[in-house]
């Protein structure tokens, strides 16, 4: 990783992890240069990159301030990666699932009506890769991603196809979490097959139902994985702890803070 990429990664990761807080001011350029071990020119370039991602705002009267999360470019792979590294809040997972429920069912209906032989073959190839990864080991997530991108391309809607490229980082994050479940990939294969068979049969209603079942299964797996991680990280508390407090701890997601942070760990609560 080059110096500029390192500076962007270090600062971006710290911002997303909550090191400075929304509206917080980044340290002055000379201090950042010293702390990151790079020149002030590299710091300036890194700041420009983070401005383009919507993470910070600069100006003569505002300094270099962190933007609220709603201003961040959530389709940027780096932003998604930093959020995954920091810890996936319930809000992030909810937003991701909402987006999938809005985009993918509509796309798969169109795919069932418009997919051609090349589209079907591309999805068959992706499914075969998923099957091999389950049976022999391998990168299941990459083939899963190819399958869903293929569905969006098969809609033959240029905007949906372009959104598939933008969604890639978000979908990969979702798949990486859901496939942590024991036998999760193997269990999802029949659901993927049902989606593909409905597309081949030119059955938009069936394709939509199958896809909704697939997304619902992934959501359940993600919730179980995040719950188990939270439970493993939760300290022991006396039995007299209130139900409300227990629920808050159950939903907490541990966040490893970047070295820029003065603390070693914090928690994000819904």
pLDDT tens digits for the chain (270 residues)?
Answer: 789 999 999 999 999 999 999 999 999 999 999 999 999 999 999 999 999 999 999 988 778 999 999 999 998 989 988 998 888 788 888 888 899 999 999 999 999 999 999 999 999 999 999 999 999 998 999 999 999 999 999 999 999 988 887 788 888 888 888 777 778 889 999 999 999 999 999 999 999 999 999 999 888 888 887 777 666 655 544 433 333 333 333 333 333 333 354 333 333 333
Q: Which domains does the chain have, with CATH numbers?
A: 3-72 (1.10.10.10), 87-232 (1.20.120.530)
Tell me the C-alpha distance between 67 and 1, whole Å: 26
- pTM (two decimals): 0.74
Q: Is 29 helix (H, G, I), strand (E, B) or coil?
A: helix
Tell me the C-alpha distance between 180 and 221, whole Å: 8
Q: Is 34 helix (H, G, I), strand (E, B) or coil?
A: helix
Alpha carbon dihedral 259, 252, 139, 81, in 10-degree steps, equals -40
Q: Nearest 5°: phi and psi at 242? A: -70, 155
The answer to whether 177 and 226 have CB atoms below 8 angstroms apart is yes
The answer to whether 78 and 15 have CB atoms below 8 angstroms apart is no
Alpha carbon dihedral 154, 156, 162, 164, in 10-degree steps, equals -20
């Amino acid at each position: 990783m080059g110096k500029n990429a390192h500076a962007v990664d270090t600062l971006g990761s710290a911002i997303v992890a909550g090191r400075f807080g929304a509206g917080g001011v980044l340290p002055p350029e000379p201090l950042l240069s010293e702390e990151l071990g790079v020149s002030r020119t590299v710091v300036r370039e890194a700041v420009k990159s983070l401005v383009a991602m919507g993470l910070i705002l600069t100006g003569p009267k505002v300094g270099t301030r962190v933007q609220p999360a709603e201003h961040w470019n959530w389709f940027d792979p780096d932003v998604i990666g930093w959020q995954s590294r920091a810890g996936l809040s319930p809000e992030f997972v909810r937003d991701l699932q909402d987006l999938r429920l809005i985009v993918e069912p509509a796309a798969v209906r169109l795919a069932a009506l418009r997919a051609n032989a090349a589209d079907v073959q591309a999805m068959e190839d992706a499914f075969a890769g998923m099957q091999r990864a389950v049976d022999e080991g391998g990168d299941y997530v990459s083939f899963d991603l190819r399958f869903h991108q293929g569905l969006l391309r098969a809609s033959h809607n240029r905007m949906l196809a372009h959104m598939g490229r933008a969604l890639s980082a978000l979908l990969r994050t979702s798949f990486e979490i859901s496939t942590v479940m024991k036998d999760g990939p193997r269990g999802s294969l029949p659901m993927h097959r049902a989606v593909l068979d409905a597309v081949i049969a030119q059955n938009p209603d069936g394709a939509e139902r199958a896809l909704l079942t697939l997304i619902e299964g992934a959501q359940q797996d993600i919730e179980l994985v995040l719950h188990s991680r939270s439970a493993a990280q939760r300290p022991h508390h006396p039995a007299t702890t209130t139900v409300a407090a227990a629920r808050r701890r159950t939903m907490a997601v541990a966040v490893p803070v970047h070295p820029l942070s003065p603390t070693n760990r914090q928690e994000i609560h819904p």
